[in-house]
Structure 1
Amino acid sequence: MTIEDIALTMTPGIGVKGVVHLLECFGDARQVFAASEELLTDRAELRPDLARRIARRSAMPAAEREWNYCRKHGLTAVASTDPEYPPLLREIPDYPHVLYVRGDVAALSMRCVSIVGTREATPYGQRMCGELVRGLAERVPGVCIVSGLAFGIDVAAHRAALAAGAKTVAVVANALPDVTPAQHEPVARDIVAAGGAIVSELHAQVKQKGTFYLARNRIIAALSAGTVVVESPCAGGSLMTAHCADGYDRSVMAVPGRAVDAASKGPNLLIRNKKAQLVLSAEDIVSELMWDLGPAGAGPRSTGQSPCLTADEAGLLACFRSSDPVSTEELGALCGLGTCEMSVLLLGLEMAGAVRQLPGNRYIRLMDNL
């Protein structure tokens, strides 16, 4: 980590992707600032005014103030060219070149899974969040829970990790060492004391306008092998995090809920539209991320995988003898199950994208090779 790394991110007119482009052209921040205006315009194809700002090192005084600010407040600045930088985050095309960390930087490179959800969490959502985190802490050595320290599901995930003895990382949309919301400062202190970290890409001199939450969400998604949406309305930050995770080829998972519950509409839609894998337990998350197969399963997902079905679901699916629609009465006669049990299995098959319900209480098989 050098002061040039900070200065590069503080140069006016050079955004996140502009920094990534310059690093691709020159290798590291020191080489960027060592380049002439001509080389910056020729090799990096910068506008002359931007090349001039870099060549004249115009952001260096601000970077020196930030360097001293970090030392004063006990913050660690990590550049993407440092070995401590989290490798999964480095894989995305719009990674932040500098992270500001309060706590243990090593937590960012653990086996991370992101758990996000609505600020208006229900008792069901809080319970599911707690059960998932406890199950992961029991089953996955070195697991780290990533979230955004917001009200509702986010802070519930952090608290559940702390209670279970697991590390947790909070990605915030403000400059450190403060956290937003301020009411969660006690939780932030506990996170750091337990070996976790509070993370931001924002330096202390950025103007706070409350516009950094969407950008923050991409970091939550990118730090982890997968993202779990516990509860969310039809729109909101949690679904944006899921969208980012999907765009980065990371696993997207969702906890289903009742169709009439507003807080479950987002996860239900993700599952219905086959944008998320249905998860009911920590075992489902471990299986989706292939963590039961060893460390190699912790990276970006492979595409084109068929949804996994339980043995009972697979048995019911086998009752679809052709591509013709089948009524629930016919299915009941073929499988010998009661109405209630069969309805639950049909719901699972529908959420897995294996069948679709038609008018008249009939179902049709969608895929043959499951």
Structure 2
Amino acid sequence: MVPGIGHIGAKHLIDGMGNAVDVFRLRKEIPERIPEVSQRVIEALDCPQAVLRAEQEYEFIRKNRISCLSFHDEAYPSRLRECEDAPIVLFFKGNTDLNSLHILNMVGTRNATDYGTQICASFLRDLKALCPEVLVVSGLAYGIDIHAHREALANELPTVGVLAHGLDRIYPHVHRKTAVDMLEKGGLLTEFLSGTNPDRHNFVSRNRIVAGVCDATIVIESAEKGGSLITAELAEGYHRDCFAFPGRVNDEYSKGCNLLIRENRASLLLSAEDFVKAMGWEVSAHSAKVANVQRSLFLDLSEEEQKVIEILEKRGDLQINTLVVEADIPVQKMNTILFELEMKGVVRVLVGGMYQLL
């Protein structure tokens, strides 16, 4: 709530001072601890109205039993935490784990056709059979978003809607019943305070959370321009997998998907089976095998390297995002660990960015 301090600047202050309380309590010591912070920022922190607004919001979330997840909380989505522009606070109401092992988002046009709605239904039905423990994320908007939520509920998959406003309202209002149903198996997530209007720019901001909390983005239908293409672009920037269902070349709401596929910005997707195989979410036949004895010859394996090996032994081939969640190791550090293990001949990279024990 302090004017002029965004998510990245706030995280820099918290990291430099140790915690958010000391950013305010020891404001005058900031120049010594974080010399690069400007005097303008330090003066801006003397902001009684921000504290008053925070107290009002605290009362709102307490009264409505909303979870306030700060950046370093264990329940904060670990995948999102690795994104530079992740919010320092999220508000969540619901009943699911935002750090579930398998999380995907399904997005698309607000003008969904029968083709798009049928894909939502068949894909999630088949996905439930192939990989029962999946969290489905979308934006609770008209079209593909609301169909994805409803089909997830119909197949008893948890589903989370990421909102472009506070938790004091549901927009659009006609989706209120679905939103209430989602609280029982899923939930509603937002970075915005109560009283925030669903303004246009908030939807773009919302899309980065949709992309950041997930392992993969699936675009069902999209015109040549639209919010779902922004989500796909954000997912690519976060080094997440992106998939798109193709459509007929002349169909208005398949042009965006076809474009993503043509430009190699999304993998062509035809079925839930394709998706599960690409993500390595199927039960791997070799996961139950005993580890190769040769690995025990490496006496210089670190504790974290050994931890990664044990996860791969137990789970089989995995992508880096899943390893990050399982091992609770930051993605930058995980990249280094996997590189070292690859150099030692312990793991190899497969097509689709899967890591396999040798």
TM-score interval, smaller chain: 0.7 to 0.9
Deviation track 1:162-188 (CA, whole Å, cap 9, x = no partner) reads 000000010010100312111101000
Query: Per-residue deviation at 1:56?
Result: 5.9
Structure 2 residue aligned with 1:344: none
Structure 1 residue aligned with 2:296: none
Structure 1 residue aligned with 2:330: none
Deviation track 1:247-274 (CA, whole Å, cap 9, x = no partner) reads 0000000001111101100010110111
User: d(CA) in 2 for partners of 1:135 and 1:41?
Assistant: 58
Query: Per-residue deviation at 1:28?
Result: 2.5
Structure 2 residue aligned with 1:147: 138
User: d(CA) in 2 for partners of 1:81 and 1:40?
Assistant: 24
Aligned match for 1:104, one of 72, 77, 95: 95
Deviation track 1:84-119 (CA, whole Å, cap 9, x = no partner) reads 111101111111111111112524544210000000
Amino acid in structure 1 at the alignment position of 2:156:
G
Structure 1 residue aligned with 2:113: 122
Aligned CA distance change for structure 1 residues 295 and 160 (closer, same or farther; 3 Å) = farther
Asked if the contact 1:233–1:264 (Cα under 8 Å) also holds between the matched residues in 2, the reply is: yes
Rg larger in 1 or in 2?
1
Asked if the contact 1:77–1:99 (Cα under 8 Å) also holds between the matched residues in 2, the reply is: yes
Structure 1 residue aligned with 2:128: 137
Aligned match for 2:215, one of 222, 225, 229: 225
Structure 2 residue aligned with 1:297: 318
Deviation track 1:271-316 (CA, whole Å, cap 9, x = no partner) reads 01111111111111112222225487354499x97579xxxxxxxx
- What is the correspondence of 1:228-243 to structure 2 with a 5 Å cutoff? 228-243=218-233
Aligned CA distance change for structure 1 residues 307 and 299 (closer, same or farther; 3 Å) = closer
Asked if the contact 1:277–1:307 (Cα under 8 Å) also holds between the matched residues in 2, the reply is: no
Aligned match for 2:38, one of 43, 47, 50: 47
What TM-score, normalized to structure 2?
Answer: 0.77
Identity over aligned residues, as a percent? Answer: 37
Moved over 3 A (4+): 55-58, 107-110, 205-210, 293-296, 298-302, 304-308
Asked if the contact 2:93–2:189 (Cα under 8 Å) also holds between the matched residues in 1, the reply is: yes
Unmatched tracts of structure 1, length 5 or more:
1-9, 309-370
Aligned CA distance change for structure 1 residues 44 and 257 (closer, same or farther; 3 Å) = farther
User: d(CA) in 2 for partners of 1:53 and 1:128?
Assistant: 50
The answer to whether residue 198 in structure 2 is matched with residue 177 in structure 1 is no
**Structure 1 vs Structure 2 CA RMSD:** 2.4
User: d(CA) in 2 for partners of 1:44 and 1:157?
Assistant: 48
Query: Per-residue deviation at 1:12?
Result: 1.6
SS in 2 for 1:219: helix
Structure 2 residue aligned with 1:192: 183
User: d(CA) in 2 for partners of 1:125 and 1:81?
Assistant: 38
Structure 1 residue aligned with 2:291: none
Aligned match for 2:9, one of 8, 18, 21: 18
